Structure 1
Amino acid sequence: MILFLDFDGVLHPDPCYDQGKQFCFLKRLESVLLEFPDVEIVISSTWRESRSIEMLRGFFIPEIQQRIVGVTPNWRDHEELFDVIGYQRQTEIEAWIRTSGEPWLKWVAIDDKCFLFKPFLQNLVRTRPDTGFDEIAEKKLRDLLSKF
């Protein structure tokens, strides 16, 4: 199972002008992920565009750091796929899956921008930009991960 993870609006409010509040919802997510040790993480956040994977891993506890296996490519590098899918973040996820060597892998995404995905996508945990990974999102993620 792969979890595609956005940061802004998920791990902290979006916008987040107070650096002291950055990653204020991270511990809640990490506690869920510790219960599901087979879940690997791919960063789908735009933070991947300006930071190395090592820097991105550094925000997480060591038990989670080792499970971060990559970052999604930019949808603009896969315009032929975007032409078929029509949604930017979902195109990035599908492109990563296709190049993973394991295209059959099940996946879940956590994101606050549902317009970047096909409507009614069952494996999307949508957060609200102001509340991020709250109790509602936590419950939905647990429910999805428990099914796999």
Structure 2
Amino acid sequence: MKHIFLDYDGVCHPAHHQVSERFNRAHLLDECLRPFARSVEIVVSSSWRFSYSPVELKAFLPKCLANLVVNVTGPAVVGRHARFKEIQAYVRAYGIKDYKIIDDSKFEFPEAVGEALILCNSSIGIDAAQIKQLESWLRL
């Protein structure tokens, strides 16, 4: 099983967005993942997990995408590369071997994260270039 750690702001919509723009990029991810629905799971790594329940987090997403959400990462970590450390704790706890991180905050990750990170432009959100990276990995 492949796993995706998904951020919301800067991925599913621009980081600085109007309410009307919320999740306006999520359909791209939904369309990309639909053919791989049996072989991929999503873990929400977004800070939205501190304000919304898992059920509410799913409700923001298109149906196929929401159905792939299995969990959220754990407690907040403070300090350098906090998001990376949160994801690594989850990876260790659940024995995950094959994963990608879709995020827009490069400063949250060390250089060593390498190809595990699919970096989005925070002013746009996920776009064709990131979808292409994701599809290449999913087809392996």
TM-score norm. by structure 2 comes to: 0.90
TM-score norm. by structure 1 comes to: 0.85
What runs of 5+ residues in structure 1 fail to find an aligned partner?
Answer: none
Deviation of the 1:74 alpha carbon: 2.8
Q: For the structure 1 residues 97 and 136, does the alpha-carbon distance in structure 2 shift closer, same or farther, using more than 3 Å as the test?
A: same
Residue deviations 1:17-63 (CA, integer Å, cap 9, x gap): x1111100010000011021211000000000100000001122333
Deviation of the 1:65 alpha carbon: 2.3
Deviation of the 1:105 alpha carbon: 2.6
Pair 1:146 & 2:136 matched: no
Cα root mean square deviation, aligned: 1.6
For the pair shown, the structure with the greater C-alpha radius of gyration is 1
List, as ranges, runs of 4+ consecutive aligned residues in structure 1 with deviation greater than 6 Å.
none
- Decide whether the 8 Å contact of 2:6 with 2:43 is kept in 1: yes
The equivalences for 1:67-78 within 5 A come to 67-76=68-77
The equivalences for 1:71-86 within 5 A come to 71-76=72-77
Deviation of the 1:75 alpha carbon: 4.0
The answer for the alignment partner of 1:133 in structure 2 is 126
Identity of aligned residues (%): 31
Pair 1:54 & 2:55 matched: yes
- Decide whether the 8 Å contact of 2:4 with 2:40 is kept in 1: yes
The answer for the alignment partner of 1:123 in structure 2 is 116
Deviation of the 1:104 alpha carbon: 4.2
Aligned length: 137
Residue deviations 1:54-110 (CA, integer Å, cap 9, x gap): 00011223333232111011343xx7xx8xxx521111111112222xx14311010
The answer for the alignment partner of 1:90 in structure 2 is 84
- For 2:53 and 2:76, locate their aligned partners in 1 and report how far apart those are by CA, in whole Å: 18
